[in-house]
Structure 1
Amino acid sequence: MTLRIGLLIHEAAMVSTVAAPLDTLRTANKVAHLLNPAAPPPVSARVVATRAGPVRLTGGITFEAELCRPDEFDVLLVSAIDYSNIGELVRRLDALVAERVLLRRCAEAGVRLASSCNASLLLAEAGLLDGRRATVSWWLANLMRERYPLVDLAAEELLVDEGDIVTAGAATAGYELVMQMLEWAGGKGLAHNVSRLMLVDRERQSQAPYISLALTQRPRQGLSERAEKWLQKRLHESISVRDLADHCRVSERTLLRRFHEDFDATPLEYVQKLRVERAKALLETTHLSFEEIVGRCGYQDVSSFRRLFKHVVSMTPNDYRERYRLRGR
């Protein structure tokens, strides 16, 4: 039976989150036909919106959209929002009122909802992720936590399948989401063949290796920024919460509260993240041994830091260096 997929678009939609799934789903039908010409196509994909007609996206490309009727679809894939800065992203989220109403209608009708990149923010804005596990583009994790505290955010995960709602992480995680749909439609064999044809690496399980604190949306002023600047200069040293609180001229209680609000971590947990971030940069850009890198990150126990690195990054230091080191051409 053909899986009926609607691709929900709006004027703020990111072109790639519409075009890439469409191309991949059409490729899947071609592959399925090649393998079994007599079988019906495994998927149907239609571009839909809150009203019928042409929709010109922010990238300048226009799609002809059908009116989305929940009873006509098994899955609704929500396109991500194109934006230049966080303020613009929030304004566009606020403006998508009709889309939020539609998403709630689809959920009530039993349509499975799917999103990638920042589209999970729209699901959260509609109240559909409260009390549920979900993921989002890793650099928007802090925004998700601040704006939607009832969401059980798993920012490191590439894909979170809650049954009737599936969320995927940044950019190319959208391909893994489409592969998941192809498994629903035609089994693992179809998804495997299409992933091979389109060079989709299905071995990836996490966004963690790609996370960069320098690119993560986070506080840029006030106490939190002062604290981070002070920490960055002292990562190779022994650091205490007392010393950090004294530098910021606040009590330890206030420091702990502010770090929880701004970074969703204690000061010492955040120091560990900063040290792992420094280790990642040194693994990528230098030929230093891991033992030397550990020393520059303020640790004495190499084994302990190796365990911490693997816990945060979901890869061993050696695997990380082999995959992400800068290579001369």
Structure 2
Amino acid sequence: MEPAIQIEHLTKIFERPLPRLRRLLRRPGEDQVVALNDVSLTIHGGEIFGLVGRNGAGKTTLVKSIAALIQPTRGTVRVFGLDTVGHPQEVKRHIGLVTSDERSFYWRLTGWQNLLFFARLHGMDEAEARRRIEELLDLFDLRELRHRRFHEYSTGNKQRLALARALLTDPPLMLLDEPTRSLDPIAADELRRLIRERMNHLGQKTVLMTTHNLAEIEQLCDRVGILSQGRLKACAPLHELQAQYAVHEEVTIRARCSRGEDGLQELRASIPTLSWTSPSPGIIEIVFSRHVQDGTLTMVLEKLLARGAEIMRCEAHRMGLKDIMEHIEQQG
């Protein structure tokens, strides 16, 4: 099956304006900015792919390169087999693009009028456009707001309308650039549900999304790519990244023990990170950090069982995406 997105050795370099004037004024900085540096990536059909990185890492540049809005300096980008340089208009017909700053709507027009205007720009005939708009208003729960002017919409409903506009032509690929930025937690959670259930699961869309909300990536995405200084430093399912980069984990053990806290001081002498509480009589909860390959957990469990304890719960929490990103940044 042909990939939805195929990127090979993509490099994008932007020239700084007026280099001679900047040198004359002794302004610091290079004459060129390398936004993307030799990025190769394959995204499969039906996948939700998350792209993360610090501000300036190159996420938006990569999205715009895929959307055929900017051309590569070197390398190639193909969308369903179509080269973005050779066939930009065909590529754009396969893509629905949503950004976090939707200034391209007409604020004095209603939601319905905006959708109809953009449907006509796509060349849809009147009957087809009206039918599709009705479907999308229902899909995104915007029917009651359809005759309200765009400037009266809440931030969350503006994002819903942006998603509806991107889906007017039912494109197979959705590019979402920080879609939940500026949304309150409830609106953001609802938008994530729409992406997961109505666009991906029901609509069978391929979704590439960028975000600074790492929990969002963990909840939604099949795989995650980490960009740092224009380079793709890692690309895998989150659990594989955790297995590769996580060297420490936090362990929580809850046990029923008639002997209470006897002997725990001895354990703490061997494990400096160990601490415990007694949330109720006869119950102890122990927390400690360990290296994933060491025998600390086995030792603690054996000590507890030897004292007649009943293990009620044992959980290990490895580093999350934020920790992995920081680890990759430190590696340079």
Q: Given the two structures, how large is their TM-score scaled by the length of structure 1?
A: 0.30
Structure showing greater radius of gyration is 2
More helix by share: 1
Which is bigger in relative contact order (C-alpha 8 A, separation at least 6)? 2
More strand by share: 2
